[in-house]
Amino acid sequence: MEVILKQDVEHLGYTNDVVKVRDGYARNFLLPRGLAVSATSSEKKQLAETMKQRAHKEAKVKEEATKMADGLENKTLKIGAKAGEAGKIFGSVNTIQIADAIRALGFEVDRKNIKLKGEAIKSLGKYEAEVVFHRDVIRTIPFEVVEE
């Protein structure tokens, strides 16, 4: 069954994408929660008209996301954490702390758009995180966990 997504759905697609999913997934999960609508011919025509009107606005948003990503390109974030012996930190570093470090540099990124590469960060050192600024603008940002 083809559906038009009304919201971003992780591992499936972004808003206004036309995707093909299994009938049960569409009927029992996507449609009742309002995440998608059936892709009938009239809905597709309406989507095409909406996308034509939004094209200019979308290009502007993508340009701003690219500027933000380029601004963070050559910067290494430093995240402070309390550490014990042998460089192990108490707790772990998460996306909230990374979002706060990016915010301190003057860029606004939602923590939900940050994915840590690898396992949980429980020791001092250098790591990388993948940041989604826009559906087409995804960057890998290096960061360093240092002792406070």
pLDDT at position 68, please? Answer: 86
Residues 6+ apart with CB under 8 A from 46: none
What's the pLDDT at 69? 85
According to the model, what pLDDT value does residue 114 have?
Answer: 92
Name the nearest CA neighbour of 36 among 52, 22, 56.
Answer: 22
pLDDT value at position 56? 80
What pLDDT shows up at residue 84? 86
Per-residue pLDDT, 86: 84
Domain count, the chain: 2
Q: Which CATH number belongs to the domain containing residue 126 in this structure?
A: 3.10.430.100
Please give the Cα distance from 108 to 100 (Å, whole number): 9
Mark the ranges of the chain whose per-residue pLDDT is less than 50. none
pLDDT of residue 3: 95
The overall pTM is greater than 0.75: no
Domain boundary among 59, 80, 95: 59
Both 141 and 89 in a single domain?
yes
Q: Are strands 18-20 and 125-134 parallel, antiparallel or unpaired?
A: unpaired
Helix/strand/coil percent split, the chain, to 5 = 40, 35, 30
Tell me: do 84 and 142 sit in the same domain.
yes
Rounded Cα–Cα distance for residues 114 and 16 (Å): 22
Spatial CB neighbours of 68, under 8 Å, sequence gap ≥ 6: 107, 108, 109, 133
Q: Which domain holds residue 125?
A: 70-147
Rounded to whole angstroms, the Cα distance separating 141 from 75 reads 8
- Of 59, 87, 106, which residue is a domain's last? 59
| pLDDT at residue 30, as a whole number | 95
